Structure 1
Amino acid sequence: MSAKTDLGEMSAPELSALFAKGAASPVEAAEAALARIERFNGEVNAFAHVVPELALEAARQSQERWRKGEALGPLDGAPATIKELTPVIGIPWRRGSKLGNKEPATHEILIVKRLRAAGAVILGTTTSPEIGWKGVTHGPAFGNTVNPWRSDRASGGSSGGAAVAAALNMGVLHEGSDGAGSIRIPGAFCGVFGIKPTFGWVPADAPSPLMELAHRGPLNRTVEEAALFLHAVAGPSPDALYGACPPDLPDWSGAARGSVEGLRIGYSRTLGYAGVAPEVAAAVERAATRLSEMGAIVEEADPGFENPLEALRTLWFAAESLTVDRIAPTEAQKAEMDPGLIAIAEKGRGFSARDLLLAEEVRARLKVTMAHFHTRYDALMTPTMPITALPAGIDFPEGQGMSDWTDWSPFTYPFNMTGQPAVSVPCGFDGEGLPIGLQFVAARFRDETVLRLAGAYQRSFPEAVPDRPNLHARA
């Protein structure tokens, strides 16, 4: 394989090595990333806001630190993006909504502060559906974010812009959030790596009605970059509103370079309740065989829980109803909002305190079931998604008995309810050239296990990345 010469194609570790030798600068890397955004974004709509002036100023500061031998670490100068649901000083914080604040934000939360402290150069914010309410990325405020592999297909969501930016390397670090699959869904659809870390590693210092369902983490082309991202943003904080964080961080970068030898994997094709497309099932079956050949101990095993979808919807819809009510839209303003969001908010208002307590009981039992599973297995392996990317612009396929986007993502949300680490790593393509994702789940605060599995698998079986958006007419 020939050496890379285009800075815009390089990973965070590759850029850092060049900065250290003086062979390239953070300013050049930022310019290359901004050029890729200029070249590709009009075809995929991954960005809500791009801030070249702010990015280049941060890159110049990084360049000076490298020149003086005072770099802040391996991510100093790395071009980065933030999901538009996360406030960034100097960028309007719209939260995917036409009703959002159009003035530049004046505050940031801890994950952004820590990325800045690591030297990351923020290029802009990536698209999300309104308030991140669904697993696809389209809505009234920013339009439709489409899949780089086929522009007539969905990017997934709600971190769809981040996944598309990662797939096309419009920056090397991409922050996302995941309340029911919103990192892993677009990761699988777009063919990139995404991790929902154990809830608590990244302190939740922003109020959210989703509370411990809502995780923040990275989407990247490589597992190695995701580990570096986690090292930069994880760790205890007195400002954490929910959850708890251990005082010491594991060596996630070392884990991402590790072997799967001897790891016990419980392989569940369906979790006991999900239907899976044949091409997805075949790709995951092939991955199970490969992992066995790599030295892992792979056994068929279902964790043994019933589908917790209705409990998830109770928690999710009630939270979204509170968020909408805090916006307090007029009837005229509601007409400017995503009608699907308005519909689930209305359902959420109908739940009682008793309903929420019953949903929390389901969540508690699910935690115990998975804790027992992990006394036997280091990790659970499933498909990330039962399908490849659905047509762009719809919330769910019609005529298939579905009523909500959660119907087509049965493998993701259980592990938001338990707070466990879960990743999606690419494991092949279907006959239409659309990526397929493989999910690993580990016990709480054992994120090194999923990074070890995903890192070893990706090194042994790297999948293609798009060199440009693949344009298709929409039906």
Structure 2
Amino acid sequence: MDTSVKTDLGEMSAVELSALFASGKASPVEAARASLERIERFNPSVNAFAYVMPEMALAAAGESEARWRKGEPLSPIDGAPTTIKELTPVKGIPWRRGSALGSKEPSDKEFLIMKRLRAAGVTVLGTTTSPEFGWKGVTHGPAFGNTLNPWRTDRASGGSSGGAAVAAALNMGVLHEGSDGAGSIRIPASFCGIFGIKPTYGWIPSDTPTPLFELAHRGPLTRSVEDATLFLNATTGPTPDAMYGYCPSPVPDWRQAIKGANIKGLKIGYSRNLGYAQVQPDVAAAVERAASRLADMGAIIEEVDPGFSNPQDALLTLWYAAEARTVDLANPTEEQRKLMDPGLLRIHEKGSALTAIDYVAAEQVRADLKVKMASFHETYNALMLPTMPTTAIEAGVDFPGGIEGKDWSDWSPFTYPFNMTGQPAVSVPCGFDAGGLPIGLQFVGPRYRDDIVLKLAAAYQTAFPEQFPSAPRAL
């Protein structure tokens, strides 16, 4: 975007703010105030925040401002208004985790990713909403109500990083931390019309493994691909403190990797539906148009399916077991269970009934899928497909139409396979349906080749930028 025509700091990107901070034309305190004003204006309509911390944010922004004045910023994102998904603890903010069981007291601990963001100097505005313990692909629950889609507030934001996606879409901050165990960054990115990346498992190592183990990835949700690369530059890399997740060294400069974003000659396998899913016609048409555009940009597009059957049963075994263990660790009393999401309690029951043989069989499917995709990438630089088969579903339900007993993963068939393989996967906006709801385009790359999917997304976004909501829209 051309910053010369922008007058509102609240509309600017992390890249633009960094340049303004360096030149002295704007300060981190001014940027923080602009973001907090947008939160005050927009959040009551969409419910994207668990906690907003104005005093904490302005104090951090003041420290950042002093560093910029001395010419000693900690990083290009020093002072960037940032939000953290409430599944990640932040010192000084209660760690709710989307649950009535969450702590009411300010947290005194932080995970490695938060420590790295602190070291980069970001200004934390607050924490964004998640369903209870991040268990589903939409963001609503008994503890906090609904987080709503800014494009149409009768529609879901997606999940489990729904609050982060809504905050990104409305620029209530410029960098938004999220997590993705089966699509939880990419689903809301698609529904809300913003960019999201699930990096290769390991680029952002974990010092706090969850029961999801290697399914769970952390990453950014942003308006632009370039902003996401700044987040990745601050958070990727090996460390002796991280005991889980292999991270190679050296780590690429992700922002440099997308410079020029020349995709000529990249060979992309294009799958309409992975051979096993149904796709909304508007979504199919938008992704088909994107394939044609990429071909015009010089990419080699071949229609192909990777050749694996739907791994949903294996995913659900791993997912149910992990969520059952998560609930067990929370150790709710009978009275507390009455305050919990009924869907999560059903998952707990299913997960508790699984056997070790069930779990090992699911892990075998996951291992086979890794091999299948590694073979696919011997021929293709990337896989392209819809992020979601549909645009945003109704708000307040776990399944389209509110059908009880269905699993949310039924309507998200294109995201979870790549949590199982640990590959990098992104969602970038590629149009709107007839009702004005965003559509996401997904690129999947070989493990540790996040540069490929970032380059593809950056090239597409630069050539075909989509609009963002100016304010929440109710019908």
- TM-score range for the pair, normalised by the shorter chain length: over 0.9
Q: 2:408 aligns with which of 395, 405, 409?
A: 405
TM score, norm. by length of structure 2? 0.98
Q: What does residue 139 of structure 2 align with?
A: 137
Q: What does residue 316 of structure 2 align with?
A: 313
* Shift, 1:274, TM fit: 0.7
Q: What does residue 433 of structure 1 align with?
A: 436
- Indicate the SS of the match to 2:439: strand
For 1:329 and 1:401, locate their aligned partners in 2 and report how far apart those are by CA, in whole Å: 24
Q: Deviations over 1:323-368 (max 9, x none)?
A: 1011111222111000000001100001111110000000000000
Where do 1:2-21 residues align within 5 Å? 3-21=5-23
Equivalent position amino acid for 2:57 in 1:
A
Q: Deviations over 1:165-212 (max 9, x none)?
A: 000000000000000000000000000000000000001111300000
- Whether the aligned pair in 1 keeps the contact of 2:112 and 2:242 (CA below 8 Å) is no
For 2:158 and 2:152, locate their aligned partners in 1 and report how far apart those are by CA, in whole Å: 12
Equivalent position amino acid for 1:65 in 2:
R
For 1:402 and 1:371, locate their aligned partners in 2 and report how far apart those are by CA, in whole Å: 35
* Shift, 1:302, TM fit: 0.4
- Indicate the SS of the match to 1:347: helix
* Shift, 1:243, TM fit: 2.3
Q: 2:78 aligns with which of 73, 76, 87?
A: 76
Q: 1:264 aligns with which of 257, 262, 267?
A: 267
Where do 1:75-474 residues align within 5 Å? 75-257=77-259, 258-398=261-401, 403-472=406-475
- Whether the aligned pair in 2 keeps the contact of 1:256 and 1:454 (CA below 8 Å) is no
Q: Among all aligned residue pairs of Structure 1 and Structure 2, give the percentage whose two residues are the same amino acid.
A: 71
- Indicate the SS of the match to 1:343: helix
For 2:252 and 2:330, locate their aligned partners in 1 and report how far apart those are by CA, in whole Å: 40
For 1:184 and 1:50, locate their aligned partners in 2 and report how far apart those are by CA, in whole Å: 24
- Indicate the SS of the match to 1:148: coil
For 2:22 and 2:253, locate their aligned partners in 1 and report how far apart those are by CA, in whole Å: 22
For 2:289 and 2:249, locate their aligned partners in 1 and report how far apart those are by CA, in whole Å: 39
For 2:22 and 2:438, locate their aligned partners in 1 and report how far apart those are by CA, in whole Å: 35
For 1:118 and 1:425, locate their aligned partners in 2 and report how far apart those are by CA, in whole Å: 25
For 2:321 and 2:403, locate their aligned partners in 1 and report how far apart those are by CA, in whole Å: 26
* Shift, 1:256, TM fit: 2.3
For 1:92 and 1:406, locate their aligned partners in 2 and report how far apart those are by CA, in whole Å: 29
For 2:316 and 2:20, locate their aligned partners in 1 and report how far apart those are by CA, in whole Å: 48
5+ long unaligned stretches in structure 1: none
Equivalent position amino acid for 2:172 in 1:
M
Q: What does residue 32 of structure 2 align with?
A: 30
- Indicate the SS of the match to 1:282: helix
For 2:244 and 2:409, locate their aligned partners in 1 and report how far apart those are by CA, in whole Å: 24
Provide closer, same or farther for how the CA distance between residues 152 and 399 of structure 1 changes in structure 2, counting only shifts above 3 A: closer
5+ long unaligned stretches in structure 2: none
Q: Aligned residues, how many?
A: 472
- Indicate the SS of the match to 2:219: strand
- Whether the aligned pair in 1 keeps the contact of 2:394 and 2:401 (CA below 8 Å) is no
- Whether the aligned pair in 2 keeps the contact of 1:251 and 1:448 (CA below 8 Å) is no
Q: CA RMSD in A?
A: 1.1
* Shift, 1:441, TM fit: 0.1
For 2:95 and 2:209, locate their aligned partners in 1 and report how far apart those are by CA, in whole Å: 15
- Whether the aligned pair in 1 keeps the contact of 2:195 and 2:222 (CA below 8 Å) is yes
For 1:377 and 1:251, locate their aligned partners in 2 and report how far apart those are by CA, in whole Å: 23
For 2:135 and 2:464, locate their aligned partners in 1 and report how far apart those are by CA, in whole Å: 33
Equivalent position amino acid for 2:467 in 1:
A
Equivalent position amino acid for 2:90 in 1:
V
For 1:301 and 1:402, locate their aligned partners in 2 and report how far apart those are by CA, in whole Å: 33
* Shift, 1:102, TM fit: 0.5
* Shift, 1:155, TM fit: 0.1
For 1:312 and 1:23, locate their aligned partners in 2 and report how far apart those are by CA, in whole Å: 50
* Shift, 1:400, TM fit: 7.4
- Indicate the SS of the match to 1:236: coil
- Whether the aligned pair in 2 keeps the contact of 1:317 and 1:345 (CA below 8 Å) is yes
Equivalent position amino acid for 2:76 in 1:
P
Equivalent position amino acid for 1:339 in 2:
P
For 1:461 and 1:309, locate their aligned partners in 2 and report how far apart those are by CA, in whole Å: 33
- Whether the aligned pair in 2 keeps the contact of 1:168 and 1:467 (CA below 8 Å) is yes
For 1:263 and 1:203, locate their aligned partners in 2 and report how far apart those are by CA, in whole Å: 29
Could you tell which deviates more after superposition, 330-339 or 450-459? 330-339
* Shift, 1:239, TM fit: 2.7
Which 4+ runs in 1 deviate beyond 3 A?
398-402
- Whether the aligned pair in 2 keeps the contact of 1:440 and 1:450 (CA below 8 Å) is yes
For 2:353 and 2:389, locate their aligned partners in 1 and report how far apart those are by CA, in whole Å: 30
Provide closer, same or farther for how the CA distance between residues 334 and 58 of structure 1 changes in structure 2, counting only shifts above 3 A: same
For 2:128 and 2:352, locate their aligned partners in 1 and report how far apart those are by CA, in whole Å: 30
* Shift, 1:238, TM fit: 1.9
- Indicate the SS of the match to 2:395: coil
